Amino acid sequence: MATATALASSRLATTSPATTITLKGSTALVTEFFHYAVNSVLFQRGIYPPETFTRVAKYGLTMLVTTEAALTDYLSATLGQVAEWLGRGELQALVLAVASVETGAVVERWVFDVEASDDGEGKEGGATAAAASGGGGGIKAPKEEKAVTAEIQAIIRQITASITFLPLLEDACTFDLIFYVSAAAATPDECEESGGRCVVNAQQVQLRSFDTGVHRVHTLVAYARQEE
């Protein structure tokens, strides 16, 4: 029995680092999700013409991503900054606001709230260090990337299905990305303070969430309530 216990402990010590999502890994997962989520919204809501998107395989799904050079460069630079904020624990939310080109009114608001997971799983030295020190009582099993991918897949499916309940965007629309960061966060010169860009007379639909064990992301969409 003693030998079996020692063997089990040895296996835990050698395999848990491979299955635990670290802060760096979580930051990459969340940033990547934002990339595909934003592209999905822009395609599904017709913000850019469908012919400017290309198909790629991701999360076990066929995803659509922009081929517009200017938009690609903008998203790459913007999400690079997002990754820095995430890594420092400074990002509180990313918002994609869809507005009418003609009136400037915000007609849809896609909100991705970010919070730190409560249990500290996956943080550098977190669950692994506790297990090594013998203080593993009550610590849940490390979150595996496969489980996170399944949760993200469910959100992407919901974004794709959103056309079944969101009002038709009759006017040409544009979009803005808005970031909520902690007061102490450093912001690049090209960023400027902005209002919340809220939807007037909004109706909200809460979508699914995903949890990497380090970051938890909650998703909802708010849209202009149609007149009866």
Q: Identify the CATH number of the domain in which residue 158 sits.
A: 3.30.900.10
Give the separation between CA 206 and CA 209, rounded to whole angstroms: 9
User: How many distinct structural domains can be found in the chain?
Assistant: 1
User: How far lies 150's CA from each of 38, 69, 154, 157, in Å?
Assistant: 18, 30, 6, 11
Query: CA–CA separation, 42 vs 204, rounded Å?
Result: 19
Model pLDDT, residue 20:
75
**CB-CB contact of 43 with 64 (8 Å):** yes
pLDDT tens for the chain, 228 residues: list them: 443 333 333 333 333 444 578 999 999 999 999 999 999 999 999 999 999 999 999 999 999 999 999 999 999 999 999 999 999 999 999 999 999 999 999 999 999 999 987 654 434 433 323 323 333 434 455 678 899 999 999 999 999 999 899 999 988 999 999 999 998 888 775 666 666 678 888 899 999 999 999 999 999 999 988 765
CA distance 153 to 93: 20
**Residue 171 to residues 45, 66, 80: CA-CA distances in angstroms?**
11, 21, 31
What is the predicted pLDDT for the residue at 127? 30
Domain hosting residue 49, numbered range: 2-224
Q: What is the pTM of this model?
A: 0.81
